[in-house]
Amino acid sequence: MTDLAGKHIVLGLSGGIACYKAAELCRAMVKAGATVQVAMTEAAEHFITPVTLQALSNRPVYGSQWDPREPNNMPHINLSREADAILVAPCSADFMAKLLHGRADDLLSLMCLARPMDRVPLLLAPAMNREMWAHPATQRNVVQLRADGATVLGVGRGDQACGETGDGRMLEADELLEDLVAFFQPKRLAGRRVLVTAGPTYEAIDPVRGITNRSSGKMGFAIARAAREAGAEVTLVAGPVHLPTPRGVVRVDVASAADMLQAVLAEAERADVLVATAAVADWRPASAAEHKIKKDGSGVPPAIEFAETTDILATVAASARAAAGRLFCVGFAAESQDLVHNAQVKRQRKGVPLLVGNIGPATFGRDDNALLLVDAHGTRELPTADKLTLARLLIAEIAQRTRA
C-alpha cells in the first residue's frame, strides 16, 4: 500500500497508556509509504521507550527542545517545517488543554504552536478516561481546537485500562491510518450526499436455503470509502457480506432485493449521487416455503415458481429527482461475456447517464478489478488495479460529471 507515499508525518506522543498503539500506527504509516518523525513528551516516555519508536520509524526520536543534534538548537522549527502534517496520537486531555491555551513548554507543544498553519495541518487523536472525555471542559476544548483549525479525530468506545467502559479510547491504528489517508484525499464531493449499494442479495427458498450470487461487496465498499474520502456524506446499503464498514460511512444492512429496494428508495430522497454496485437478484422464488423442503427419495426436484424482482436502479433513475437532475445515477453491470455490447444495452435499458461494466467471474471476491465506463458517447477503460484505486478514479469521474 502506498497511500501515503511522499508524505512526511510528525507523529507526536503525549502521555497515556494508548502510547502502545502508537507503535503499530508508526509501523502502519511507514508501510503505507510515509516517512515518520517521532516526537515524544516526557510523560509519553513513561509508557513506551524512544528505542521502540526509533526502530519502527528508522529515524532518531526527539523529546527535548534542547536537543543538541540540531545545529541551530531549534528542533521545534526544523522538524515542523519538514512535515506534511503533525499527528498527535495519543493526545491526552492535558495536552489538548495545553494546545488550546497556546502553551509551549516542551518540544511537541512548541512544534504544534510553531508550525506554519497554512501548510502543516494538525491532527489530534484523543485518548483518555471516559469521564475525562465527557467532562464539559474537554468538550469545550474540542470545539475550540477545531475552531482554531485543528482536526480532532473521533474516539473509540470500549474497555479502558482503568477497568471502566465507555468513550475516550484512542482509535485503533488501522482506523487512524484510514482517517489520515482520507485527510489527504481531494475533497471533490464535499457537501454532497452519496448513496452506494453493495454485495449480493439473498432470496429465500425456505427457512434454510436461498438463492444468491458470488458478489463479495468489495467494490461497493471501496466506492463508499472513496466517496467519504472525497468529503461526501455516505450511506452504504449492503447485502449479506462480511466486510468492515468504512470509516465515517453509515451502513444499512439488508438481505433480499425487496429489502434493498425499500432501503434505497428511502435514502434516495436525500441523495445527490447513487452508485448501484450491488449484484441484485433478477429473480426470486415467488413464495418461500414455511418449512425446510426435504428430499422425498423420488429423485424429482421440487417445483419452484419464480417472480421477477423490481429493478432498483431503473426505478430510482425514473424518479422525479433523477429526471430533474438532482440525483445522478451510476449503474454497474457484471457480465460474463460481450462486456461492451451488454453494458451499452443495459445502460440504455436502465436509463442512467453512466454505467460501469466488468467481467463478474474475473473479479468476484478478488481485491483487484478492471472497469469499463459506458455513457452516451462511448466507452473508456480503467485498467486493472486494486479496487480502492479504481473507486477513487470513479469518484473523481462522478465529481467531474456532476460539478455543475
Nearest to 314 by CA among 331, 328, 326: 331
Phi, psi dihedral angles at 8 (to 5 degrees): -115, 115
On whether the CB atoms of residues 218 and 236 are closer than 8 A, the answer is no
Nearest to 304 by CA among 289, 316, 314, 291: 289
Q: Which three cell numbers stand for residue 124?
A: 489530534
SS3 171: coil
Annotated active-site residue 162? The verdict is yes
Q: Which three cell numbers stand for residue 387?
A: 479496487
Contacts of 297 (CB under 8 A, 6+ apart): none
* Sequential DSSP letters for 256-270: SHHHHHHHHHHHHTT
186, 370, 193, 325: CA torsion to nearest 10 = 110
Q: Which residue has the cell 469499463?
A: 372
Alpha carbons 273 and 193: distance in angstroms, whole number: 7
Alpha carbons 332 and 369: distance in angstroms, whole number: 13
Q: Which three cell numbers stand for residue 196?
A: 452506494
For residue 131, give the amino acid letter: E
On whether the CB atoms of residues 312 and 350 are closer than 8 A, the answer is no
Which one is catalytic: 26, 91, 162, 329?
162
Contacts of 102 (CB under 8 A, 6+ apart): 113
SS3 344: helix
So which residues are the catalytic ones?
162
